[in-house]
A and B are shown apart, each in its own frame.
Chain A
Amino acid sequence: MLIPLRLSALSDEQLMKRASQGNERAFEELYNRHARRLQGFFSRRLGNDADLAADFMHDTFLRLYAARERYQGNRDFRAWLYTIAYNLLKNHFRRNLPLPASEERDDVIPDNSDVEVEIDATILHDALRNVLKSMPEPLSLLFSLHYEEELTIPQIAQITQLPEGTVKSRLHKVMTTIKIKLKQYENN
């Protein structure tokens, strides 16, 4: 009984360190902490395909498990986990949905920070769900990493291998785009 209690008190990095030394229960604890959230992330990115999302989540943890011995104690665990997930998604979209690079999309994103939207609070959830689904994948992915998965800008910069300033400006543009798209729901 003491071992699970002790493991649950450890940070992700401490658990990963133990897992890298061969502690299977530490890795299982990490899985229990992050699997559902990661599967949800994949589910939203893959058009709510639950089976595909479960496969991607499984694949991510298997890759993490295979690379556990290479873990360095100072590395941010969540950034590492989402880097694997991000690369899997990128490869998937590259194979199945040839999208233009996100840099090209910067042109179409309006740089207007004072967009005002007025929507009935009762329809905000449905409107936002539709807007996020209709967003280009690179923008939607960035929004998901920062606002849904609550990763910090330095973590996203590490995952996407973009400078922090670029991540910040893109996130600002993503929010503006969402607001503009939400405007179509204003008078409904």
Chain B
Amino acid sequence: MKITDQDIIHAARQLRDEENEQLHVTPWHRHHRFHVPSWLVTIPAAALIGFLLGIWFNGKTKNNMPLTAMTDTVYIKVTEPSVKADTLTHTAPQPVFVRTKAPKVKHYSPHPSPGRSIAEDKIRYDLLVKN
């Protein structure tokens, strides 16, 4: 086949198209936009995440801690009932039973009682008023 100028031009353009089709062309915005190194993003992001996780974790554990772990010193103000002089002299009127009778000496039975001890009742039986 006799080759003309047009055959050469046509073949050259076909070669061009084949080669151009195989190229990988990066989109413009990937070239153009300011490219930040990955480490410059990763490190501050990791620090921020760590900071937020720290706050969250610290808040969670603080509730379970004893009071002394949360504060260095705990001051507890104890208010003692002040005893006034006039309260000693003027006693409140007491029941006759209490005023007149001396407290009984407790008699313990040599045999253990089958019931519960009155000490366990936590009731001041000696203050009971007899009607």
Binding site for B on A (CB under 8 A): 27-28, 31-32, 35-37, 39-40, 43-44, 48, 50, 53-54, 57-58, 61-62, 65, 116-121, 124-125, 128-129, 132, 143, 147-148, 175, 178-179, 182
Contact = CB atoms under 8 A, between A and B. Distances in A.
Given A132-B12, A179-B8, A27 B28 contact: yes
17 contacts: A28-B28, A36-B25, A37-B20, A40-B19, A44-B16, A54-B24, A58-B26, A58-B31, A117-B2, A118-B1, A120-B1, A124-B3, A124-B7, A128-B8, A147-B8, A175-B8, A182-B3
Contacts of B13: 147-148
B9 interface: yes
A143 B8 CA distance: 11
A116 B2 contact: yes
B5 interface: yes
B2 A148 contact: no
B11 A128 contact: yes
Interface string B15-51: 1100110011110110110000000000000000000
B23 A50 contact: yes
Contact of B20 (A36, A58, A62, A129): A36
Contacts of A65: 32
Contacts of B28: 27-28, 31-32, 35, 61
Top-10 shortest CB links A-B: A40-B20, A31-B28, A117-B3, A148-B16, A28-B28, A36-B25, A35-B25, A128-B11, A147-B9, A124-B11
B2 A118 contact: yes
Given A50-B24, A118-B1, A132-B12, 12 more contacts: A39-B20, A39-B25, A40-B23, A54-B24, A57-B25, A58-B31, A118-B3, A121-B1, A124-B3, A143-B12, A147-B13, A179-B8
